[in-house]
Amino acid sequence: MTIREFWDRHAAAFDDEPDHGLRDPRVRDAWARLLLPLVPPSSRVADLGCGTGSLSVLLAEAGHEVHGLDLSERMLDVARAKASSAGVTIGFVAGDAAHPPHARGSFGVVLARHVLWAVPDPAAALAEWVALLEPGGALVLVEGRWSTGAGLTAAEVRELVGGVRDEAVVTPLTGEDLWGGPITDERYLLVSAR
C-alpha cells in the first residue's frame, strides 16, 4: 500500500480524533488561541500536509489567504467540503508536502502539523519549506514524539530547523483542551520567525 492509499483509506474517519476534526468547540478554540496570534493579519499561508483542512479553515475564517496541500485526494475532498460549509475559499491542491509545488518566497507563513516526522528526509523538506517564505516569514510546526514511538522529539526538530534558520522557539503542548483529553507523550509547537 502506498502512502497516498493509506491516507485515502483513513480520510473518512480522520476527523473523529478531536484535534483532527476540531468539532468540539473547546478544542477548536484552543487551536485558534494557539495559532491565530502567530499569523500576522491577512497573511498568505501554506498549510502543508493539510489533511482534512481543519486548520486551513480556521485560518481562512480569520481572514488569511490559505493554500492547503495534501497527498491524499480523499482528504482533500473532505477539506473542500469543510471549506464550502464554512463559506471560505481555500486553494487546496494535491501534492507531496516534502516537495511543495509553490513559488519560492511566496508565503508569510508555512504551517505543518504532524507532517515533518512522516517525510523521508526531514532536513530536505525543511529547506524547501523555508524557501517558500517571504523575507521575515514564519515557519510554524506542530510535531511530537508519540507513545507509539513514532515522531520526532522537540530536540531533534530544533536541531533540524537550526540547519536552515537562526531561530527555533519550542513550546510544549500539554493542554488537554488541544487534544480533547490527557496526553502522556511529547507534543510541541516550534516557531521560527527568522
- Report the chain's mean pLDDT, rounded to a whole number: 96
Q: What is the pLDDT of residue 1?
A: 83
For residue 64, what are the contacts with CB-CB under 8 A and spacing of at least 6?
A: 39, 42, 43, 44, 45, 109
Which pLDDT tens digit goes with each residue over 41-58?
A: 999 999 999 999 999 999
Which pLDDT tens digit goes with each residue over 132-167?
A: 999 999 999 999 999 999 999 999 999 999 999 999
Q: What is the pLDDT of residue 40?
A: 96
Q: Where exactly are the structural domains of the chain?
A: 3-36+45-192
pLDDT at residue 194 greater than cutoff 90: no
pLDDT at residue 120 greater than cutoff 80: yes
The topology (CATH level 3) of 3-36+45-192 is Rossmann fold (3.40.50)
Count other Cβ atoms within 10 Å, centred on residue 90: 23
Q: What is the pLDDT of residue 3?
A: 87
Mean pLDDT of 32-39: 98
Which pLDDT tens digit goes with each residue over 70-108?
A: 999 999 999 999 999 999 999 999 999 999 999 999 999
State how far the Cα of 74 lies from the Cα of 20, in Å rounded to an integer.
15
